[in-house]
Amino acid sequence: MPSISKRGGKVPMSPFRKLIPFADKAKAAGKHVYHLNIGQPDIETPAYALQKVRETTFKILEYSPAEGIASYRRKLADYYRKFGIEAQANEIIVTTGASEAILFAMLACLDPGDEVIVPEPFYANYNGFAQIADVHIRPITSYIDTGFALPDVEAFESVIGPRTRAILITNPSNPTGTFYSREVLEGLGSLARNYGIFLFADEVYRDFCYDGNEFFSILNIPGIEEHAILIDSISKRYSACGARVGSIVTRNQQVLGAVLRYAKLRLSPPGFGQILAEATLEMEDTYINEVRDEYRRRRDVVYGRLSRMQGVVSYRPGGAFYCFAKFPVDSAEHFCQWLLEEFEHQGATVMLSPGEGFYATPGLGVDEVRLAYVLNCHDLDAAMDCLEVALKEYPYKKQATQAATTGPAARRPAPGPAF
């Protein structure tokens, strides 16, 4: 029998999907599972946008232009201007979700063996995109005791090497919910300009910033017009994960040309998805404002409950709808599996994402989890009830003295190796 490729055998497992078989068994056994493991919101997709899709009357669903429907790209440029981003329609290429945008950016800007610096913990699928593009992630570690604040510019500069071609950030962050300020971003912009490298920014959560945090895009940093590559998606903004519509935005004409060649090879971004996406841009801001307020309330529920759980370390996220927590357990992965296989509280349990899968540096995140607060406040409270009881009943607890000597401040390693 023929064997698969070495590349195919090395595809990394998604940390927010790897426990699905255990969740399925739990459900089959009659347990209710509260899903906090994946960023699939329970917010309804805008009815207006769905209706626009239903009203389509064409008899042939043709290929759209490889770069996306022109009217949608024009409206998308108008949307960006709400954030002070001056982008023209011809500087936007529509992609099949942000996933394809990230992959196209890596393929267009990096050669095999090149490196991209990424603060960890990071969106775990970056590992997979890097593997497909045959490039290496060079992690730079942030820590839960600072709310995963971005390391200073000097820390980034210290890991720049001869194969470094880009820095990649997510703002606000998935998986940590950390918000990056204008000053921090301008520091990275200066670094990109001085070293002649790209600055990629995954900005899909820009509409979800809290506590007076004002979003600032890398496209607004002066002097890095040729360096800045913006990644975007409608998936989380309008709770339309299945539409699979994202975009790349840049003023670098060479990058646009290379990305467009990849876009032509895959022929067309989703047709119905673009119709829905364009409809969302015809709506008033009421929808997005209400959704932002709802996520802020959910953030407060999760943070409030975590902060009162004995032995748990967390922080108040400044954006997106994720947070990390450090638990008093030996292995978060084992704990997450135990929750599904052996635990229940009032007929229910909770599904989380083990934190280790969001790091590239070996040994980090082993006692951490990512929580996605994508459920309504009532269900979040019930999920936190389950979690609080589970932490008390879990038999493999980390001893208090051990936790004190293995916390983030005590175990900070040198920047991890590229892989």
pLDDT score recorded for residue 399? 62
| Domain final residue, candidates 261, 280, 299 | 280
Give the tens place of pLDDT for each residue, 316-367: 999 999 999 999 999 999 999 999 999 999 999 999 999 999 999 999 999 9
How many Cα neighbours within 13 Å face the side chain of 152?
A: 1
* Confidence category of residue 16, pLDDT binned at 50, 70, 90: low
Q: Is residue 96 part of a domain?
A: yes
- CATH number, position 183: 3.40.640.10
- CATH number, position 308: 3.90.1150.10
Q: Is residue 72 part of a domain?
A: yes
* Confidence category of residue 78, pLDDT binned at 50, 70, 90: very high
Check whether residue 138 and residue 216 sit in a common domain. Answer: yes
Check whether residue 207 and residue 274 sit in a common domain. Answer: yes
Check whether residue 86 and residue 194 sit in a common domain. Answer: yes
62-67 long-range contacts (CB < 8 A, ≥24 apart) are: 62/271, 63/267, 63/268, 63/271, 64/94, 64/268, 64/269, 64/271, 64/274, 65/268, 66/260, 66/263, 66/264, 66/266, 66/267, 66/268, 66/269, 67/92, 67/93, 67/94, 67/260, 67/263
Mean pLDDT of the chain: 93
- pTM over the 0.75 mark: yes
Q: Is residue 69 part of a domain?
A: yes
Rounded Cα gap, residues 340 and 230, in angstroms: 38
**Could you tell me the end-to-end alpha-carbon distance of the chain, in angstroms, rounded to an integer?**
30
Check whether residue 89 and residue 212 sit in a common domain. Answer: yes
Check whether residue 293 and residue 273 sit in a common domain. Answer: no
* Host domain of residue 374: 12-44+287-402
Give the tens place of pLDDT for each residue, 86-127: 999 999 999 999 999 999 999 999 999 999 999 999 999 999
pLDDT score recorded for residue 376? 96
Give the tens place of pLDDT for each residue, 266-312: 999 999 999 999 999 999 999 999 999 999 999 999 999 999 999 99
Q: Is residue 261 part of a domain?
A: yes
Q: Looking at the predicted structure, is the pLDDT value of residue 406 above 70?
A: no
Check whether residue 25 and residue 104 sit in a common domain. Answer: no
Rounded Cα gap, residues 185 and 187, in angstroms: 5
Check whether residue 293 and residue 274 sit in a common domain. Answer: no
Q: Looking at the predicted structure, is the pLDDT value of residue 237 above 60?
A: yes
Check whether residue 33 and residue 153 sit in a common domain. Answer: no
pLDDT score recorded for residue 9? 85
* Confidence category of residue 401, pLDDT binned at 50, 70, 90: very low
Check whether residue 175 and residue 195 sit in a common domain. Answer: yes
Q: Is residue 168 part of a domain?
A: yes
pLDDT score recorded for residue 152? 94
Q: Is residue 412 part of a domain?
A: no
Q: Looking at the predicted structure, is the pLDDT value of residue 404 above 60?
A: no
Looking at the 3D structure of the chain, how many domains does it have? 2
Query: Which of the residue ranges 16-20, 62-66, 190-194, 321-325 would you say has the lowest mean pLDDT?
Result: 16-20
Q: Is residue 107 part of a domain?
A: yes
Residue with tokens 């906090």: 36
pLDDT score recorded for residue 413? 39
Check whether residue 252 and residue 296 sit in a common domain. Answer: no
Q: Looking at the predicted structure, is the pLDDT value of residue 403 above 60?
A: no
Check whether residue 262 and residue 381 sit in a common domain. Answer: no
Give the tens place of pLDDT for each residue, 250-265: 999 999 999 999 999 9
pLDDT score recorded for residue 414? 39
Query: Which of the residue ranges 198-202, 326-330, 393-397 would you say has the lowest mean pLDDT?
Result: 393-397
* Confidence category of residue 12, pLDDT binned at 50, 70, 90: confident
Check whether residue 92 and residue 231 sit in a common domain. Answer: yes
pLDDT score recorded for residue 18? 78
Q: Is residue 408 part of a domain?
A: no
Q: Looking at the predicted structure, is the pLDDT value of residue 232 above 70?
A: yes
Give the tens place of pLDDT for each residue, 127-174: 999 999 999 999 999 999 999 999 999 999 999 999 999 999 999 999
